[in-house]
Amino acid sequence: MARRRKGDPVSGWICLDKPLEMGSTQAVSAVRRLFNAQKAGHAGTLDPLATGVLPVALGEATKTVPMMMDAEKSYRFTIAWGASTTTLDREGEVTTRSDVRPRREEVETVLPRFIGRIQQVPPAFSAIKVDGERAYDLARDGEAFELKPREVVIHEAEVMDQPDPDHVVIEIDCGKGTYVRSLVRDIAAALGAEAHVAELRRLAVGPFLSGESITLDKLADLVHRGALSEALLPVETALDDIPELAVTDEDAFRLRQGRSVVLLPRQVEQLRPRLGATRAVSAMTGGRLVALCEMRAGHLSPTRVFNL
């Protein structure tokens, strides 16, 4: 007999505004407790010293988390000039100091070097595995190791402000795997300066935007008012760039059983211009997500089935 999961069968996404000094896992646990949800997960880790958008998946939405791993992201961060640290942010110990304080115009001059496809060495204090161990564990133990450069993509980068000679504020739009701490290290090196990340806020993860995010305090208030559902976004929010196709109840039944369905010629023509490289399609019926499918040779084959 299958073991019954504890909690309620809640499904959907929460666009959480993660607070400062809270880990992503802690934040997910807090959301899960508020909803008394059976399952929870997140799309894209945020360091404790970072704030902003942390998409939290509940219930059936956890099946769409892999679709969010390649999502574009946006960040706003503040560079503090004058000192480099072990962690490349204000949490680490100072390793090198400098009196160099680049002007805004100097930062704007070097920034284009970091736009496009670039090679970036991840921070030593990162979750990347080295011989089966996390890099941050090795770094904390003082062990010497080398991380190889990785290709990342930065679509846009712009200086937003220079509140004083010691700080400059930048916003970027980037692809997966981009480390802001490494970017700050490299910008400083290009300017002959020492620097670290003083503040970091994630503004967007794919369709999840900072302006639409909600804090844990506001979620707790919704609990007291019995209105938690107001913050819950549909499971298909994470599939916003995947074309939808309405299917019949009969086809929905077949898809839920893991069986393929044959599409009508007009359905194929309707979908073909909107298909991406994965040929993924969201099958819907009655406004509900039935399955994430792959379209091949006029057939729709389910790859993930949803119980909504």
Q: Name which of 13-17, 50-54, 161-165, 222-226 the model is least confident about.
A: 222-226
Residue 106: Cβ-neighbour burial (10 angstroms; 0-12, 13-18, 19+): middle
Q: Which of 286, 226, 306 is nearest to 9 (CA)?
A: 306
Q: Is 297 left (phi over 0), alpha (psi -120 to 50) or beta?
A: left
Inform me whether the pLDDT recorded for 141 exceeds 70. no
Inform me whether the pLDDT recorded for 174 exceeds 80. yes
CA 66/CA 240 separation, integer angstroms: 14
**Residues composing the chain:** 308
pLDDT of residue 297: 83
With bands split at pLDDT 50, 70 and 90, how would you rate the model's confidence at 50? very high
Helices 24-35 and 216-224 sit at what angle, rounded to 10 degrees? 10
Q: Alpha carbon of 201 to those of 43, 169, 306: distances in Å?
A: 16, 11, 33
Residue 254 or residue 138, greater confidence? 254
Which stretch, 26-35, 137-146, 296-305, has highest mean pLDDT? 26-35
Q: What is the mean pLDDT of residues 231-259?
A: 90
- The residues assigned a catalytic role are 47
* Secondary structure of residue 194 in the 3-state scheme: coil
Residue bearing tokens 């670290």: 196
pLDDT of residue 89: 92
Of the chain, the percentage scoring pLDDT greater than 90 comes to 61
Which stretch, 70-79, 240-249, 256-265, has highest mean pLDDT? 70-79
Inform me whether the pLDDT recorded for 245 exceeds 90. no
Inform me whether the pLDDT recorded for 227 exceeds 60. yes
Residue 1 or residue 72, greater confidence? 72
pLDDT of residue 126: 63
Inform me whether the pLDDT recorded for 135 exceeds 50. yes
Spatial neighbors of 228 by CB under 8 A, at least 6 apart, are 34, 35, 219, 222
Stretch (H or E) spanning 292: strand 288-296
pLDDT of residue 6: 81
Residue 83 or residue 223, greater confidence? 83
Inform me whether the pLDDT recorded for 124 exceeds 80. no
With bands split at pLDDT 50, 70 and 90, how would you rate the model's confidence at 7? confident
Tokens of 155: 């679509």
Q: What is the mean pLDDT of residues 40-66?
A: 92
Inform me whether the pLDDT recorded for 2 exceeds 90. no
Please indicate, yes or no, whether the overall pTM of this predicted structure exceeds 0.85: yes
Inform me whether the pLDDT recorded for 149 exceeds 80. yes
Looking at the DSSP assignment, which residues form a beta bridge with residue 42?
56
Q: Mind listing the domains of the chain with CATH numbers?
A: 12-69+208-237 (3.30.2350.10), 73-205 (3.30.2350.10), 242-305 (2.30.130.10)
Beta strands in 45-106 (DSSP E): 50-58, 73-81, 83-85, 94-97
CA 12/CA 41 separation, integer angstroms: 11
Cβ(111)–Cβ(157) below 8 Å: yes
Residue 277 or residue 193, greater confidence? 193
Query: C-alpha 61: how far from its chain's center?
Result: 15
Q: What is the mean pLDDT of residues 202-215?
A: 95
pLDDT of residue 179: 92
Inform me whether the pLDDT recorded for 1 exceeds 50. no
